[in-house]
Amino acid sequence: MGHAEQLTEPRWQQRFKTRDMVFAVLYTDVLLLGKVLDVGRGGLAFQYVAFADGNGEWAKGKADLEVFESGSSRCWKIPSCSVVYDLEVPLEVRFLSNYQLRRCGVRFGDLSKRQCTQVESLIKHLGVDPLSRHALELPSAGERC
């Protein structure tokens, strides 16, 4: 079994849990605002609340993204992203039956050198704990940041 197969984190870059008050705005066919859960060089995941009868209008396809921390004037804009998944997170609280908690995974697109620097800055300023305890193999310089 090779090194990459032994990793606990299935993505090819390390992901970092973010601080509590980090939010994302996703611009697709629908506008979504949610709390960022984790971020890495290749993308991020966030949670948001939607009406239970969302008529299937969940995030999908190409998107632009803005990430910010509450109380800070700093905002990271990341264009040309794509939604990898948008799934319902089961709730056990009955009085919230009109709502869904959803988790959305976003992959960053091909980033310029400047945008890669922005993503590194985002991770440095907002990431706190790595989600994997193992060192990850990074892609060659031509593949990603």
Domain count, the chain: 1
Statement: the pTM of the whole predicted model exceeds 0.85 = no
Average pLDDT on 132-142 reads 40
As to burial, measured by CB atoms within 10 angstroms (0-12 exposed, 13-18 middle, 19+ buried), residue 143 is exposed
pLDDT of 94? 65
Average pLDDT on 101-105 reads 93
Q: Does 49 map to a domain?
A: yes
The candidate with the shortest Cα–Cα distance to 84, out of 29, 119, 45, 55, is 45
Q: Does 90 map to a domain?
A: yes
Please check the confidence at residue 130 and state whether its pLDDT lies above 90: no
Q: Does 141 map to a domain?
A: no
Q: Does 136 map to a domain?
A: no
Q: Does 135 map to a domain?
A: no
Q: Does 143 map to a domain?
A: no
Q: Which two tokens stand for residue 31?
A: 């506008």
List, for residues 34-62, the tens digit of each pLDDT value.
999 999 889 999 999 988 776 666 778 89
CB atoms within 10 A of CB 46: 26
Q: Does 140 map to a domain?
A: no
Instruction: Specify the 3-state DSSP secondary structure of 136.
Output: coil
Domain with 117 in it: what CATH number? 2.40.10.220
Domain of residue 98, residue span: 3-130
pLDDT of 67? 94
Q: Does 126 map to a domain?
A: yes
